[in-house]
Amino acid sequence: MSFEPTSTETGSDSIDVPGIGRCWHYRLRLADHILVANFKADAPAINAPNDTEETTHLLEQIADNEAIKVVLFVGTDVRFGPARLSKEERSNQIQLDSRTIFERTRRFLRTLVQFDKPIVSALTGDARPPLGLTIALLSDFIVAEEQIRLSDPHIELGVVSASSAFAWPVSVGVVRAKRYIMTGEAISATEAERIGLVTEVVATGAAEGRALEFARTLAGMDSTALAHTKRALNLPLSERLHVLDATMAAARLSGG
């Protein structure tokens, strides 16, 4: 069984994937040992902690599924993941206590860093926290369409940016990370590639196809060798998990 890019497909629901439950926020397809998770533009009302909890659970199921060698996240419509909500909008969400939010977000980020299978992301729309930007920038291969922009507006909302402060310095260095995280300045796809935030920039409409090429290449590799190599390459992130705990605590105090 094989498949071709279907980033314009919006009406169908997930197919049944053995060992993987249905998702509210993703349409799932499995073929050639690649699980494609398309973000649903028509997903239910956004609730950031629940979004991250579902993604964590999905990754945990994938980790134990021998039929899946590579994960491909695909953004559709206007965004890769939910945009950061304003404080007023957040107050209208389902209320969760701060400890629950802290633990869910912390587990989500740790799961991404410690996930041994390759993750490829195709950015077809602007990537913002909490879900889209985090998944994208902690992926192993990130293909961005030329029209997209990346931004982290946490500071503008008076909230500490835990995930970006944790991950960005490893990719772009501390000085550049400060510029974009502390100002919330949006980054074009071309600039993101130049500074090392994304792997490759492609024309509008071409991200999923190119990401699928990467995914197929990875699916043909030895899984054990890939897992150990990824673990070694992710050591700079693994060694910063104490930084993640500190930034998460600060975000909790600031109302993130």
Q: Which tens digits make up the pLDDT trace of 222-250? A: 999 999 999 999 999 988 888 777 777 76
Burial 76-114 (b: 16+ CB within 10 A, else e): beebbbbbbbeeeebeeeeeeeeeebbebbbebbebbbe
Whole-prediction pTM: 0.82
CATH fold for domain 26-254? 2-enoyl-CoA Hydratase; Chain A, domain 1 (3.90.226)
Q: Which tens digits make up the pLDDT trace of 160-217? A: 777 888 888 999 999 999 999 899 898 999 999 999 999 999 999 999 999 999 999 9
Domain boundaries, the chain: 26-254
Q: Which tens digits make up the pLDDT trace of 23-37? A: 777 889 998 999 999
DSSP line for 138-191: TSSEEEEETT-EE---TGGGT---HHHHHHHHHHH-HHHHHHHHHH---EEHHH
